[in-house]
Each structure stands twice: as structure tokens, then as C-alpha cells.
Structure 1
Amino acid sequence: MASNYTNTTHFNDTNYFGGSHAPDSVIHYTIAAAVAMGLCLIGIVGNIIVFWYLFFRIPRNKYTVYIINLAAADLLLLTFAAILMMVNINTLVGSNPDFEGNAGFYTFLEIIYDLSLYSGMYFLTAISMERCISVLFPLWYNNYRPKTLSVTMCICLWILGCSESLIENLSCTQEDFTNQTPVCTGVEIMTFTLSICICLPLMILSSFTLLIAIKKTFRNRYPPRLYIIIIAAVFIFILSVIPFNFLWFLMYFRLLPSIQDTLGLYFAGILTAALSSTANPYIYFIVGRLWKQKSSQSIHDTLHRAFKAEEDEKEEIKCEKENTSSNSGVTNSTSCDSDRTDNSHNTNTESIV
């Protein structure tokens, strides 16, 4: 999305800086690109761990299906953001600044980057809305929700993200973007509508609904960890990514004062998108360890606890209270362990593949 206008083949165009290069700006952009690459590496490690455990080691439920796909989208985004930053560093200070003969490769990088960005936004919206619906309409959700809804939604959202990325990068080239062609204008309006007018209100609405649910239940018990994860991930995404989507829309209509601001917006947009994708796995780790007395917990246990079905989490909290208040702790612990085993078996049986 951000890279349509700021193609690396034009970074060193002297017209962009009023007839001369701006050495200070080049240094700043190079530093920003290097920082973004370092952030991407940290995020790649975290998302690989999350994807591995959720896909291969932890029984799946209707929510972990979304998280697996979100981790895959974040992993793609971070990987291709790091490659884009390497290309941009070469453009700014490398030996082949014009990146000659590689325009097709750069377009490919843009397509995959935008695909992962849009898909991640849709996965966040979908999981937050599904959790919101489960709070507002619990009877319908528990009795009539299709078992394959998570898988179907993820497939459709990948297709939607891919289609949006292809349309934007192939129908609205850098030249079309500069000339504000009717097709490019339509593409920009489409992306603005999907991100700002649809996804943003849905994420805000669902987050407020979950916050109200937390407030109502917090006096009686700890809120479900999944609520905390969704709210935190949505909050970080809204603060870091959505504002730049809005600014890119304004930039298309020449409402930004100078090209320096445009280049700065480009690097800041990639940096904040990388920050959001990097933060997600560490949110899972932190929330998974929350409210646990023992600090030494494996990654498997942490992630399993973070994405445990709400019914199992209620049972665990109930067992912990019983064990704390009862003198016969051995008997209660055995009973709770038996219940957890049964719940885990049921989750495995109803897992969405």
C-alpha cells in the first residue's frame, strides 16, 4: 500500500528534493530502515514460535485457527518488510541505487507485503467480531455457529487480502498514483473504505463490547485471557497502522506539504506495521503468564493457557479457587486435573483442521 508511490527507482530523483539530495534525510531514512530490519527479526522469531506451537503442538479451537493465520500473516509481513528495507538501504546508500532491471521483483515484494498487511487486519477484525458476537448472542453462538466457520472465514479473508493487494499494485502503479488516474482513485477509495470505514469501526465496537464484558465479570473472576489478547492486539494495530492508512489516503490527494514528508511517511508506515506484527506474539506470551503464581512456565503451557477455550478457563479458575480454599488440596487437584483432561479431549475432538 505505502510503497506504490515511493518506488525505490525514484528515491534518488533530484526533483524529489528540490534539485539536490538531502544528506540528513538520507541518513535518517537509512537509520529508520535499519531499525525496522532489527524489529522485523525480533518479530519473525516470535511469530515462528507461535505458529509452530499452535499449528503442531497445541489442540486447535475456533480461536486458535484465527491466531495461526494471523501469525502467518505477521510472519509474511515482517519477512518482506525486512527485504523491502534492505532494498531501500541499497537505494539510499548502495552501489545500485536505481535497482535497475528489478522493478518486477520490487512489485512482487509490494504485493506480498500488502497481502500480509491487509489479511492481518482482516483476521484481527474477524476474531474480535466473533468474540463480540459470542458475548452479545451467547445462545445463538453456542448452538448455531457452524463448526467450520473459522476455516471458511480465514480462506475468504486470505482471498480478499490477496485480491486487494493485486488490484492496488497492478492497477495503480507509481505513475498512475502520481497522475491520479480514475482507476487509481477508485482503488484508493476502495482501500480507504475497507480499512477506515469498515474494519476500524468494527474493531472499535468489538473492543468496547469486550471491555464492558470484562468490567461486568471482573468482580467475580479474572477476565478470559483471550479478551485481553484481542483488545491489546487491536489497540496496538489501531494506534500503529490505521493512522498511516488514513495519511496515505490524504497524501494521494496532495494534502501533504512536501516529498520529504511523503518519504518519512513511507518509512514510518513500514516501521509501525512491523511494530504491530512484532508485538502480537509477545502479547500472547505475556497474557499467557498472567495471574499465574509460578513464574517458570514453558512456552507450550503459556500459549495453551493464553488461547484456552473460555469453558476450560472457567473450570481452571474454579479449580484454583477450590484448591486455595480447601484443606484437602490433593483430592481437589485430582478432580480438576481429571476435568481438564476431559475438556482437552473434547477440544481435540471438535478441533477445526
Structure 2
Amino acid sequence: MVENCSWEAHATNRNKVCPGAGEALELYSRGFLTMEQISTLPPPAIVNYLFLLLCLCGLVGNGLVLWLFGFCIKRTPFSVYFLHLAGADVGYLSSKAVLSALSTGAFLGAPAAYLRAVCRLAGLCTFVAGVSLLPAVSTERCLAVLLPSWYWRRRPKRLSAVACTLLWALALLVTGTHRYFCGAPGRAGCRRMDAALGALLFLALCPLMVLPCLALVLRVECRSRRRQRSAKLTHVVLAVVAVFLVSSIYLGIDWFLFWGFHIPAPFPEYVTDLCICINSGAKPVVYFLAGRDKSQRLWEPLRVVFQRALRDGAELGEAGGGTANTVAVEMQCPPGNAA
């Protein structure tokens, strides 16, 4: 018998329903992003089509970011983080699109079940990687703004690449451990693993991304004399973190109520997944809005817009004598591949 069973909603009464052994396995095998729901009914069919639409739009936007940041814009310490963020978002949106397509087509059988398991595993890994990258980029940006002279002189040249590699390794380790405890029948400790995963996301990584952003707001936004110098990339970092916090609030409420007060998650799984899809697809829009020039009446190439959004971060190395220690953002796309 499973404790803290889900609630089945009816028009006249509400009965507490404890799932059987097979149902409990399916309930917990989906992992942290589901937990226990008030209603075990499947989402409406329109939700799957909405997921497909959001995922396709997000894949197009993040695919452009991968192409431009990877091949068309010369690397800077911050563009490396945005490149890996786009890769994590592409991975999550791809896995969610496949799951939605399988649900829309009502595919059954062993191949479909195996594909669902792989997509859930890949989705969890890329989600954890994306969340882990946000504290890194916000912390680096905070150091670059608050201590520019020290930061650009002491910063290791390949710090961004090394940090991203370690964070991806952390995501793989967390996902593998989660799979070990929650992926097979009779495995004990799945609930503890879900609780530890939630603590990592909301009690460790969220404060690590919020505190540097608060320091950025106090230092940059409250001093109008320095706004024009370093505002664009700072606004990008603040907006990306804000979008994540707003979109993950439902997931945080689910986790807090379930593990703090043993209350079944009040939001259906598709509501929290919908918010995460919006978060993954919104980053290219943030880059575009931050980099566009309002005085330009004609449409600008996307590589120019993204270049403008990243330029402030590259030019912060002027501390102490006006020498730019960082690499200037340059266009490397051949004329035929201009975005």
C-alpha cells in the first residue's frame, strides 16, 4: 500500500484512491516532474497538440541560437553558456515533442514504451543541465560587473567550457542515479531520490542563480550612469532567470506541498510540463528583444541582433586601461549562410 495516495476528483464526492502495485510503478517511474496528482485522468487531446506546437516553435528558435552561437558569432565567455543552454533546451523540447507525438497517435507496444522511457530520461537530464547552467552564467555575470578588473585578469581562459562540461556531468550523474532508484520494480528509495532532486533544484540551484541577480540589480539598475555600458547582457541574464523562476513556480509548489506537507500535487503533470516548455522556448525571444535596435526600421539579420546582445559582456574587460581582454564579437558566417 502506498502512503499519501492521490485524490480522484468526482462531481459529487472526492475519494482517496490508493494505486495498486502496477499503478504505483507507473506513477513513480515518471519521476520528479510528476509526483502524485489529484487527478490521474490523462490530459485532454488538445494539450498534446499544444505541446507539439510549443516544442516545434522552441526547437526552431533554439536551433537558430545553436547555429549562430556555434558557427556565426565568435565565442565569448558568456556565449558559451548560451550555447549550452540552447543545447539543453533543444534536448528537452525534442524529448517532449516525441512524447506528445506518441500520446497523440496513441502508440502502444514495447517499442513505444521503450521510446517513452528514453525520452523521459533525456528530458530529465537536459532539464537538470539547463537549470544548472543558470547559476553559472548569473554568477559569472555578477563577477564581471562587480569586480571587472579582478575578473578579467584572474579568470581562466577556458572557465566557461570547463564549467559547462562539469555541469553536464552533474546532470548525467543525477539522471543516472534517479534512473537506478526509480527505473525498476521494487527499487527502494525512489521517493528519497525525488526529494533530493527537488532539494537540489529549489534549495541549492535557485538561490545560487537568484542571489547574483539581486546583486546585479542593486549594482547596475540603481546606477544610471553605468546602464548604457553593461545593461544589455545584464538584462539578458536577468530575463532568462526571471522566466525560469516564473515558469517553474508550479513545479516548486508541487514539490513543496508534497514533500513538506504530504499533500498530493495540486497541478496536473501537463500544467507543469507546459510551463517548462514555455521556459525552454522563451530564451531565443529574450535574446532577440534584448539585442534588437529600436531605431532600425528595416529588419536586421539575427546574427547582428544576437551580436549586439552579447557585445556588452565582451567589452567589460576594459577595466583598468581600456584594453579589451575579451574577444570582440565578430561575424564568421559565410555570406550565403547569413541568418
Residue 129 of structure 1: CA displacement?
Answer: 1.1
1:150 corresponding residue in structure 2: 160
More helix by percentage = 1
3-state SS of the aligned residue for 1:308? helix
Residue 133 of structure 1: CA displacement?
Answer: 2.0
The two structures have a TM-score, normalised by structure 1, of 0.74
- Tell me whether 1:51 sits opposite 2:51 in the alignment: no
Residue 187 of structure 1: CA displacement?
Answer: 1.1
Residue 309 of structure 1: CA displacement?
Answer: 4.0
CA distance in 2, matches of 1:171, 1:236: 31
Alignment of 1:106-185 (within 5 A): 106-173=116-183, 181=188, 183-185=189-191
- Tell me whether 1:347 sits opposite 2:328 in the alignment: yes
After superposition, the Cα gap between the structure-2 partners of 1:17 and 1:202, relative to the gap in structure 1 and judged at 3 Å, is closer
1:203 aligned partner, one-letter code:
M
CA distance in 2, matches of 1:257, 1:346: 51
1:187 corresponding residue in structure 2: 193
CA distance in 1, matches of 2:126, 2:201: 14
Which protein has the larger Cα radius of gyration, Structure 1 or Structure 2?
A: 1
Alignment of 1:247-326 (within 5 A): 247-248=254-255, 250-251=257-258, 255-257=262-264, 261=266, 265-290=268-293, 292-310=295-313, 312=315
1:267 aligned partner, one-letter code:
Y
Larger CA deviation: 52-61 vs 163-172: 163-172
Residue 269 of structure 1: CA displacement?
Answer: 1.8
- Tell me whether 1:66 sits opposite 2:86 in the alignment: no
Larger CA deviation: 129-138 vs 211-220: 211-220
- Tell me whether 1:240 sits opposite 2:247 in the alignment: yes
After superposition, the Cα gap between the structure-2 partners of 1:207 and 1:166, relative to the gap in structure 1 and judged at 3 Å, is same
2:232 corresponding residue in structure 1: 225
For 1:204, which of 207, 210, 216 is the aligned residue? 210
CA distance in 2, matches of 1:80, 1:257: 26
Q: Percent identity?
A: 26
2:8 corresponding residue in structure 1: none
1:327 corresponding residue in structure 2: none
Residue 312 of structure 1: CA displacement?
Answer: 3.5
Residues 224 and 310, structure 1, Cα contact 8 Å, conserved in 2: no
Residues 317 and 325, structure 2, Cα contact 8 Å, conserved in 1: no
1:46 aligned partner, one-letter code:
G
Q: Deviations over 1:173-193 (max 9, x none)?
A: 37569xxx3x22331232122
3-state SS of the aligned residue for 1:276? helix
The two structures have a TM-score, normalised by structure 2, of 0.77
2:201 aligned partner, one-letter code:
S
CA distance in 1, matches of 2:77, 2:250: 30
Q: How many residues align?
A: 296
Larger CA deviation: 226-235 vs 128-137: 128-137
Q: Deviations over 1:211-265 (max 9, x none)?
A: 112223324542421111111110010111254045146446883458xx5xx53
Structure 1: segments with no counterpart, 5+ residues: 9-15, 316-338
| Root mean square deviation, CA, Å | 3.3
Residues 316 and 324, structure 2, Cα contact 8 Å, conserved in 1: no
Residues 55 and 68, structure 1, Cα contact 8 Å, conserved in 2: yes
CA distance in 2, matches of 1:63, 1:39: 26
After superposition, the Cα gap between the structure-2 partners of 1:346 and 1:207, relative to the gap in structure 1 and judged at 3 Å, is closer
Residues 95 and 123, structure 2, Cα contact 8 Å, conserved in 1: yes
Residues 284 and 303, structure 1, Cα contact 8 Å, conserved in 2: yes
